[in-house]
Structures are given as structure tokens and as C-alpha cells.
Chain A
Amino acid sequence: MTTSLTPDAATASLAGSAGARAVARATTGVADETTPDVEIVDVTKRFGAVTAVDRMRLSISRGEFYSLLGPSGCGKTTTLRMIAGFEQPTEGEIFLDGKPIAGIPPYRRNVNTVFQHYALFPHMDVARNVGYGLRQRKVAKVEEARRVGEALALVRLAGYERRRTWEMSGGQQQRVALARALVNHPTVLLLDEPLGALDLKLRKEMQLELKALQREVGITFVYVTHDQEEALTMSDVIVVMRDGRIQQQGDPTELYECPTNRFVADFLGSSNFIAATVEGVDASSRTATVRSDRGLVLRGTVTDPAAAIAAGDAVTVATRPERLEVRPDDGAAPGAAPGWTELAGRIRQGTYLGDHSEYRVVTDLAGELIVRRQNTVGAGSALGGGPGDPVVVRWHETANLILVG
């Protein structure tokens, strides 16, 4: 998949520069391959009374695709701007390649940014836009032309050198912005919601392409988004933020399967939440037995390894809608198999969503539950009947995630 995207020569050159960097590091002795590219140590950023970033601590490893994910205003852009040098931390320190970068202006940091609205220079054609960074470093004209050509080939825009940027489509402008940044071989590439302005189809295409590109050039990407699906698609590591604080970080599977708090469980995908009290804890398997406020007894996994819980503590049980099953109530007495929870309920609302249907089921013991059902046999998968119909919801205890707070 990736090879078809990229001419080999272009890749080799960009990859070669990463190698050169490694050599440079080895000889200076400042950093080695295990030094993170970016290290954010206890950084706080305040704008007057607003704390945009709050005691952030993050280590961004070399060559990986990091996503900063969170709702609007959680400090994602501010974090990027501090790495780029457009903002200075109020407290704490940022290290780039093992060296502190406080006081170094943006134009002397080996970091490049792809701006949300591309920020292409309107008075320059594509080639001059892409070559801008090289010209600032007094790269010879011939060399500039060669590298611009390579970078454009890398983003599949070979032959567009003389185009005016405003004549190009959003997706093409996006690629020009990408080429303009990549051509400089930055240590880290920062991307602030670069796909925000594209339509859904193009967005999905660009997501895969960006990820493939990142693999090939081996440059560390720090990608800002508030779109959880985008983060899941592309990232090696997702960092979930809220109100300037990191909530959790990990690879997509880990984050989705093992959210350690309610915010993450809700923001990444969706979850059913049941308030409960701890009855007993099995420390060795990190499982706990809890009783819901309405008396439903559930067993589940404690996701946060740092959480110390004991009997009597208030917790939240989270279950993913796709882990729940629903079937029409056939009148048979609910007799659940070991490890399974089975509840009778009534449909409040059913929504057909093409590939799946979503049902809101009201149960006595667990309140309203959202159940997702794949439409594997087309519309025939849908439950018959409508609102008010009796159904049975069941799920296995491995679906229960016990969250503290």
C-alpha cells in the first residue's frame, strides 16, 4: 500500500536525513536513539486567568505518530505552539532532541508546522512555497529545485510546481502545506487539525495517506485533533486531554479497551455508565465485584493500574454499546450462563444507522442502556417491533470496566 504512494528516491532522501541526524546525535553525545524527540516536563501555560495547559508531562518518542485528542479548548493548540516556539511555557521546560529550547525563537527550532488553514503564501506559486524553508537556509537553487521536486512527488503533486496555490483544491493545498514542512527534514512535524477543512471522504483518504507517509519518512508527528476516529486511525500513541491536563495516553487499542477514567471512556467511542459501590476486590486479577445503586451485582476489571480501591468505594462501571447484545423477549425465564449478566427491559428508541442499529433500552436494574447491533444481514438484522417492546439485554463480565470516580 505504501510503496505505491511514494517514489522511492524521495523516500530514500528523507529517510537518509533521519539517519544523518542519528549520526550527528551519536557524535555530539547529547542524545541517543532512546532520547525522546520531545520531552515536556511539568509545563503549565496560563493566559491571564485561563490555564490552557496544566502541569503537562509528556515524552514523545522518536519516529512515532502522536495524537493530542480532546474537546475544544483543552489546550491542544497551545501545546503545539509551545513546541513550535510561538508561545512560551509559564512554568516547566520543553526539551527538543534532549536540549532545552526555552528562549529559542521559532525560526531556529528544527520543528515545522502544518497549519490548520494551511497558511500557504498567496503571492508564491507551489514550488516557491515548498522551497521557502530551504531558501531561508541559503540552499543552492539547483538543490532547492531538486528537493522541492522530491517533496512534491512524496505528496503526489509532481508537476504542480508552477501552480498558484489558490487554484488548488483543499486536499491539494493540504499536500502543499505538508510538502513545505517535510522538505526541511524537521525533527518533529506538528500538525494542527490539518484535515479539518476537508470533506469526510477526502479526510478518510488523507488519514491513511498521512499515516503511510509518516511511516516512510520516519519523522515524529504530533497531530492535533478533536476527532476520535481520526486519532484511532492514525496514531501510534493517543494522548487524551481535558482542561489542559493529560487524562490518559496509550496506543489506540489500549485506550479504547482500557480507559482509566470516565472522561476517556466517554470521549473515545461511547459507553454506558452504571454507578456502583465496591463489594469485594481481587487484587491479583485486578477485578472487583460491585453492586449498582439499584442492586445489580457485576464483576469487572479495574482498568487504572494506579487505582487503589477497597470495599465501600464509589465506582463507575463502563460498558461499550457494541459489547451488549439484545434480543426480543421470548418469555423464557432469564437464566444467565456463568459470567453473563442478563436483564429484561423495554425498547425506548431504535435507530437504523446503515451498518449498525442503535437501541436505547430501559432496564429496571441498570437504567437506560445503549446497545449497538451490527446489521450483518442487512435491514433483516433489525429487531422487530418498536418502542415499548420487551427485550432482553445481556453481556459478559469481560465487558465491565470499573472506573474510579
Chain B
Amino acid sequence: MATALTPTPARTGGGRAKSALLTGALLLPASIWYLFLLVLPMGFVVAFSFGEKARNGGYTPAFTLDNYGQVMKGADPFLESLKLATAGTFLTLLVALPLAYFLATRAGSRKGLFVLLLVIPFWTSFLIRTYSWLIVLGRGNLGGFIGGLLGDPNFRLLGTPGAILLGLVYGYLPLMIFPLYVTLERMDRSLIEASKDLGAGRWATFRQITLPIALPGLVTGSILVFIPMMGEYVIPQILGYGRTFLIGNALVLDFLEARNWPLGSAKAVVLIATMLITISVYVWFVNRGRQARGVGVLGARPP
């Protein structure tokens, strides 16, 4: 096909070689990055997960499924993480959707300003932002205030799942807002008018037009948020006082304290598998809905 399009066959060979070289050069940094920071470590993790703990901790080569057996016996941290990540993703979506909708459709000329306001906090370190919630939610401030309202002197915000969720939503909000914002922003405004013109009110229009059109952004955002929330360790540790035992805690315990690398590796493998399965089910579910409505699957739609 390429030859048919290229005017002079003599130049085709050289041109093709050149373009292959260029393609290679463009992909090289990413390939190295992937190889050394993703593929190789993943290979180690998988290999370790079948090994045995050395006497003084660490890893000895072996082939055993014992580690996986042990993981299956203690599935609680997985369930805890799954619950937290699901709830966190859902809450983030609830906060992000109206905000992104506002930004895309109603902010007008102040759009840039609002986007800036959203981004500015992220110029500060993640740890500092999370620690500042300690102060905001602490007994001297919001925690005490709500306790006062409830008339309960023992009321605490910090150390509860609520505080963790709040921290998660706060930390990952932009990852959800931006994909949503981009799809909503790109959407033709006259579609909304057409819908109203045809007799659909605001809510009906949102449900039947805006939401389905924003769906690809919504899926992207949810996945972007869900994955790191599954492995989240720092926020639950700081705002939840480490009281909820999550998969992150389990990994830290296995690798750094018990020094049982094979067990930790098996947990990591299961964690990755859990995420892949959850996301696949989610995308499958979305696509089934789309196909039922006579539109293509995600990613198959022309621009």
C-alpha cells in the first residue's frame, strides 16, 4: 500500500528505512523505561512469588504455590482496599462530574482561572497537602466543631474511614476532572439545545445526551483514580492513623518488617490481577450498555 502511494519506487526503500529508524528513535526512551521499570521488575515479582523466604529474610529460588495459598487465606486486606477504592472512585466521580460540567459549559471566560485554581494546590508536595488535612480535620478544628454540633466530646474525624475517603477524593480529584472536562468541553453545545428542542428537560437531557457522550472520559477518569487508590498506603496511614489494614499495609509489613519477599510478591501479583479483572469487568459492562444502544464500543468511535 505504501508503495502505491509513494511516487518514486526508488525512494521508497530508503524512505521506509528512514521512517522505521525515526519510529524506533521516538519509541526508544519509552521502551527502555518500560523494560527496566515495568517489565523487568514485574518479572522479578512474579518469579519471587513462587519462591521461598530465605532464613534471614529475602528470597531463595524455589517453586512453590504456598505463598498464594497463604494469600488466599488472608484476603481481608484485598477486600478492604477494594471497598475503599470503589467507594473513593465513586465519591470522586460524584464531586468531579458537576465540577467538570460547570467548567466545560458554564464557566465562560473564567474557565482558565477555574482550571488554574484547581491545579494550584498540586504545586505543593502531596505529603504536605495530606498532612495539612490533619490540622483541618483535627480536634481543634473541623473534628471538634462537628463534635460540638453533635454534642459528643469523643467525636473524632481523624482515624476514621471517612477521613481516609476525604483524603482520597481530595488527592485524586484532578485525575477524574480532567478527562471528564475534556470530553464535555469537546461536546457540541447544540446537541443540548437539540435535545431540549425535542422535548427533553434538563435532567432528561443530561441523562440521555451529556452523560453518554461524556462516558469515555468518565471511564478513563475512573480507571485513573481506581488504580492508585487500590494500592494507596500513605493517605490511610496519615489520616486513618493506619487503623484500616489495607493491601498497602500488608505489602509494607511483608517486605519491610517480616522480610518475607515471596509472600509480599504473591500479594502484589494478586493485587495486580484484582485490578485488571475489576477494570476489565467495568469496561465490559460499559461497552455492553453502549452496544445495546446501537453505538460502538469505547475507542472504536470516529472523531
Contacts and interface: CB of A to CB of B under 8 A. Distances in A.
Secondary structure of the B contact surface, majority rule: helix
B197 A113 contact: yes
A184 B213 CA distance: 24
A249 to B, nearest CB: 26
A122 B295 CA distance: 8
Given A107-B200, A136-B198, A136-B200, A119 B302 contact: no
A107 B197 contact: yes
A368 B204 CA distance: 61
Given A123-B295, A125-B295, A105 B212 contact: no
Given A119-B188, A125-B294, A125-B295, A112 B193 contact: no
Contacts of B166: none
Interface residues of B, number: 24
A166 B302 CA distance: 8
Interface in B245-303: 290, 293-296, 301-302
Given A113-B194, A119-B190, A123-B213, A133 B199 contact: yes
Given A124-B293, A162-B294, A184 B188 contact: no
B198 A133 contact: yes
Contacts, number: 74
Contacts of A122: 191, 213, 295, 301
Contacts of B209: 121
A162 B209 CA distance: 19
A130 to B, nearest CB: 10
B196 interface: yes
A253 to B, nearest CB: 33
A242 B194 CA distance: 27
B201 interface: yes
Interface in B165-213: 188, 190-191, 193-201, 204, 208-209, 212-213
Given A124-B293, A124-B294, A125-B294, A119 B199 contact: no
Interface in A158-199: 162, 164, 166, 180-181, 184
Nearest to B211: A123
B201 A107 contact: yes
Tier of interface size on chain A:
20 to 34
A136 B197 CA distance: 11
Contact of A107 (B190, B191, B199, B293): B199
Given A123-B293, A124-B294, A117 B188 contact: yes
A115 interface: yes
Contacts of B208: 132
Contacts of B201: 105, 107
B197 A112 contact: yes
A96 to B, nearest CB: 14
Nearest to B190: A119
Nearest to A126: B294
A85 B204 CA distance: 17
A122 B293 CA distance: 11
A162 B294 CA distance: 8
Nearest to B205: A107
A128 interface: yes
Given A124-B295, A125-B295, A132 B196 contact: no
Contact of A121 (B191, B196, B204): B191
A322 to B, nearest CB: 40
Contacts of A106: 193, 196-197
Contacts of B196: 85-86, 105-107
Contact of A132 (B195, B293, B295, B302): B195
Interface in B71-123: none
Contacts of B290: 123
B199 A128 contact: no
A132 B191 CA distance: 12
A111 B197 CA distance: 7
Contacts of B301: 122
Interface in A102-158: 105-108, 111-113, 115, 117, 119-125, 128, 132-133, 136-137
Nearest to B212: A123
Contacts of B198: 107, 112, 132-133, 136, 180-181, 184
Contact of B193 (A115, A132, A133): A115
9 contacts: A107-B198, A107-B201, A111-B197, A121-B191, A121-B195, A136-B198, A136-B199, A180-B198, A181-B197
Given A106-B196, A123-B295, 19 more contacts: A107-B198, A107-B199, A107-B201, A108-B199, A112-B197, A112-B198, A117-B188, A119-B193, A122-B295, A123-B293, A124-B293, A125-B294, A128-B293, A132-B208, A137-B199, A164-B295, A166-B302, A184-B198, A184-B199
Q: 3 closest A-B pairs (Cβ-Cβ)?
A: A136-B199, A133-B198, A119-B194
Interface of A: 84-86, 105-108, 111-113, 115, 117, 119-125, 128, 132-133, 136-137, 162, 164, 166, 180-181, 184
